[in-house]
Structure 1
Amino acid sequence: MPRRIRYFFDNPVAVQVREEGRVEGRIQERARMTLRILEWRDIPVCFALRERVLDCWDLDQLEVWARRALSVERAEELFSG
Protein backbone atom coordinates (compact mmCIF):
# COMPACT_ATOMS: atom_id res chain seq x y z
CA MET A 1 0.00 0.00 0.00
CA PRO A 2 1.48 3.42 -0.90
CA ARG A 3 2.73 5.43 2.05
CA ARG A 4 0.20 8.29 1.63
CA ILE A 5 -2.77 5.92 1.64
CA ARG A 6 -1.41 4.01 4.61
CA TYR A 7 -0.97 7.28 6.50
CA PHE A 8 -4.61 8.16 5.81
CA PHE A 9 -5.91 4.86 7.18
CA ASP A 10 -3.58 4.89 10.20
CA ASN A 11 -4.28 8.54 11.01
CA PRO A 12 -5.89 8.87 14.49
CA VAL A 13 -8.74 10.95 13.10
CA ALA A 14 -9.53 8.30 10.47
CA VAL A 15 -9.40 5.58 13.12
CA GLN A 16 -11.79 7.56 15.35
CA VAL A 17 -14.23 8.22 12.50
CA ARG A 18 -14.30 4.52 11.58
CA GLU A 19 -14.97 3.53 15.20
CA GLU A 20 -17.75 6.10 15.53
CA GLY A 21 -19.30 4.69 12.36
CA ARG A 22 -19.17 1.16 13.78
CA VAL A 23 -20.85 2.26 17.01
CA GLU A 24 -23.51 4.19 15.09
CA GLY A 25 -24.17 1.11 12.96
CA ARG A 26 -24.58 -1.11 16.03
CA ILE A 27 -27.01 1.39 17.56
CA GLN A 28 -29.11 1.65 14.42
CA GLU A 29 -29.19 -2.12 13.97
CA ARG A 30 -30.24 -2.70 17.60
CA ALA A 31 -33.09 -0.21 17.22
CA ARG A 32 -34.25 -1.84 13.98
CA MET A 33 -34.01 -5.30 15.56
CA THR A 34 -36.19 -4.21 18.47
CA LEU A 35 -38.87 -3.05 16.05
CA ARG A 36 -38.49 -6.20 13.93
CA ILE A 37 -39.06 -8.42 16.95
CA LEU A 38 -42.33 -6.64 17.64
CA GLU A 39 -43.35 -6.92 13.99
CA TRP A 40 -42.50 -10.66 13.91
CA ARG A 41 -44.69 -11.10 16.95
CA ASP A 42 -47.54 -9.20 15.19
CA ILE A 43 -47.49 -6.45 17.81
CA PRO A 44 -48.59 -3.13 16.30
CA VAL A 45 -46.11 -0.26 16.61
CA CYS A 46 -47.39 3.31 16.35
CA PHE A 47 -45.38 6.05 14.68
CA ALA A 48 -44.48 7.77 17.98
CA LEU A 49 -43.14 4.54 19.50
CA ARG A 50 -41.18 3.71 16.35
CA GLU A 51 -39.61 7.18 16.39
CA ARG A 52 -38.74 6.91 20.09
CA VAL A 53 -36.87 3.65 19.49
CA LEU A 54 -35.12 4.91 16.36
CA ASP A 55 -34.13 8.19 18.06
CA CYS A 56 -32.47 6.42 20.99
CA TRP A 57 -28.64 6.46 20.86
CA ASP A 58 -28.06 4.54 24.12
CA LEU A 59 -26.90 1.03 23.21
CA ASP A 60 -27.61 -0.29 26.72
CA GLN A 61 -31.18 1.07 26.68
CA LEU A 62 -31.78 -0.44 23.25
CA GLU A 63 -30.57 -3.80 24.59
CA VAL A 64 -33.14 -3.59 27.40
CA TRP A 65 -35.90 -2.74 24.94
CA ALA A 66 -34.87 -5.56 22.57
CA ARG A 67 -35.06 -8.09 25.42
CA ARG A 68 -38.44 -6.75 26.51
CA ALA A 69 -39.71 -6.98 22.91
CA LEU A 70 -39.46 -10.75 23.25
CA SER A 71 -42.11 -10.92 25.96
CA VAL A 72 -44.33 -7.82 25.95
CA GLU A 73 -47.97 -8.02 24.91
CA ARG A 74 -48.19 -4.38 23.78
CA ALA A 75 -45.42 -2.25 22.26
CA GLU A 76 -45.88 0.45 24.90
CA GLU A 77 -44.66 -2.04 27.52
CA LEU A 78 -41.11 -1.66 26.15
CA PHE A 79 -40.80 1.54 28.15
CA SER A 80 -42.21 0.33 31.46
CA GLY A 81 -40.12 -1.18 34.18
Structure 2
Amino acid sequence: MRLQHIKKIIDLIADLKSELSGCFSKTVQAMMLTRAELSAKRLYEAIDGLGTKESLIIDILCPATNGEMELIKKEYLNRK
Protein backbone atom coordinates (compact mmCIF):
# COMPACT_ATOMS: atom_id res chain seq x y z
CA MET A 1 0.00 0.00 0.00
CA ARG A 2 2.75 2.48 0.95
CA LEU A 3 4.68 1.68 -2.23
CA GLN A 4 1.60 2.44 -4.35
CA HIS A 5 1.14 5.73 -2.50
CA ILE A 6 4.76 6.72 -3.14
CA LYS A 7 4.46 5.78 -6.82
CA LYS A 8 1.34 7.96 -7.17
CA ILE A 9 3.16 10.90 -5.60
CA ILE A 10 6.15 10.43 -7.92
CA ASP A 11 3.81 10.26 -10.92
CA LEU A 12 2.01 13.40 -9.74
CA ILE A 13 5.29 15.28 -9.34
CA ALA A 14 6.38 14.22 -12.84
CA ASP A 15 3.04 15.38 -14.27
CA LEU A 16 3.31 18.71 -12.46
CA LYS A 17 6.87 19.24 -13.71
CA SER A 18 5.74 18.76 -17.30
CA GLU A 19 2.68 21.04 -16.94
CA LEU A 20 4.09 23.87 -14.82
CA SER A 21 7.15 26.09 -15.11
CA GLY A 22 9.15 28.71 -13.28
CA CYS A 23 8.72 29.73 -9.68
CA PHE A 24 5.18 28.34 -9.52
CA SER A 25 6.47 24.89 -10.50
CA LYS A 26 9.18 25.01 -7.82
CA THR A 27 6.65 26.14 -5.21
CA VAL A 28 4.19 23.35 -6.04
CA GLN A 29 6.98 20.75 -5.99
CA ALA A 30 8.21 22.05 -2.62
CA MET A 31 4.68 21.71 -1.23
CA MET A 32 4.79 17.99 -2.07
CA LEU A 33 7.70 17.46 0.35
CA THR A 34 7.74 17.19 4.12
CA ARG A 35 9.45 20.01 6.00
CA ALA A 36 12.46 17.79 6.72
CA GLU A 37 12.73 16.73 3.06
CA LEU A 38 12.55 20.33 1.87
CA SER A 39 15.10 21.48 4.46
CA ALA A 40 17.49 18.68 3.49
CA LYS A 41 17.08 19.53 -0.20
CA ARG A 42 17.75 23.22 0.46
CA LEU A 43 20.78 22.38 2.65
CA TYR A 44 22.20 20.16 -0.06
CA GLU A 45 21.75 22.97 -2.61
CA ALA A 46 23.35 25.50 -0.22
CA ILE A 47 26.44 23.35 0.25
CA ASP A 48 26.75 21.90 -3.27
CA GLY A 49 28.86 23.57 -5.94
CA LEU A 50 31.18 26.54 -5.71
CA GLY A 51 30.84 28.54 -2.54
CA THR A 52 28.57 27.92 0.38
CA LYS A 53 25.41 29.89 1.03
CA GLU A 54 25.89 30.39 4.77
CA SER A 55 22.81 32.57 5.20
CA LEU A 56 20.57 29.83 3.76
CA ILE A 57 22.13 27.24 6.07
CA ILE A 58 21.52 29.52 9.06
CA ASP A 59 17.92 30.19 7.96
CA ILE A 60 17.25 26.45 7.83
CA LEU A 61 19.05 25.23 10.94
CA CYS A 62 18.63 28.01 13.53
CA PRO A 63 14.84 27.81 13.93
CA ALA A 64 14.82 23.98 13.92
CA THR A 65 14.19 22.11 17.17
CA ASN A 66 16.36 19.14 18.17
CA GLY A 67 13.71 16.74 16.86
CA GLU A 68 13.48 18.60 13.56
CA MET A 69 17.29 18.58 13.29
CA GLU A 70 17.29 14.79 13.61
CA LEU A 71 14.68 14.48 10.84
CA ILE A 72 16.60 16.91 8.62
CA LYS A 73 19.83 15.00 9.27
CA LYS A 74 18.17 11.70 8.36
CA GLU A 75 16.75 13.14 5.12
CA TYR A 76 20.04 14.84 4.24
CA LEU A 77 22.01 11.62 4.66
CA ASN A 78 19.42 9.75 2.55
CA ARG A 79 19.93 12.24 -0.30
CA LYS A 80 23.62 11.36 -0.67
Which has the higher Rg, Structure 1 or Structure 2?
1
Q: State whether TM-score is above 0.5.
A: no
State the TM-score, normalizing by the size of structure 2: 0.30
